[in-house]
Amino acid sequence: MVALLALAHDRGCEAELAAALEAGLDAGCLPTLDELATRFSRDALAPPPAVSVHLPAVAAYDALLLAGMELTP
């Protein structure tokens, strides 16, 4: 069970793994952990997804702090 949870977390395939396990239960046989690891393996050569982070201006934090001070009694 712990290995299945780790697989789902590490590979980001929670829903797909649940569907595969449910299909196996419905068919009366469950795949082995090795089969699931192979099925949900990541392509080692695939580039990581692009992540874009937009940082707000520092002045925006000052505005939040000032607004918070106005709310305190």
Q: What is the pLDDT along the chain (73 residues), one digit of tens a residue?
A: 899 999 999 888 899 999 999 999 999 998 899 999 988 887 645 677 899 999 999 888 888 888 877 766 6
Tell me the residue length of the chain.
73
Question: Does residue 64 belong to any structural domain of this protein?
Answer: no
Question: Does residue 15 belong to any structural domain of this protein?
Answer: yes
Domain extent for 35: 1-43
The separation between the first and the last C-alpha atoms of the chain, rounded to the nearest angstrom, is 51
What is the number of structural domains in the chain? 1
d(CA 52, CA 65): 26
Which token pair is 58?
């520092």
Question: Does residue 17 belong to any structural domain of this protein?
Answer: yes
Question: Does residue 59 belong to any structural domain of this protein?
Answer: no
Question: Does residue 23 belong to any structural domain of this protein?
Answer: yes
The pTM of this model reads 0.55
Question: Does residue 66 belong to any structural domain of this protein?
Answer: no
Question: Does residue 69 belong to any structural domain of this protein?
Answer: no
Which token pair is 1?
């069970």
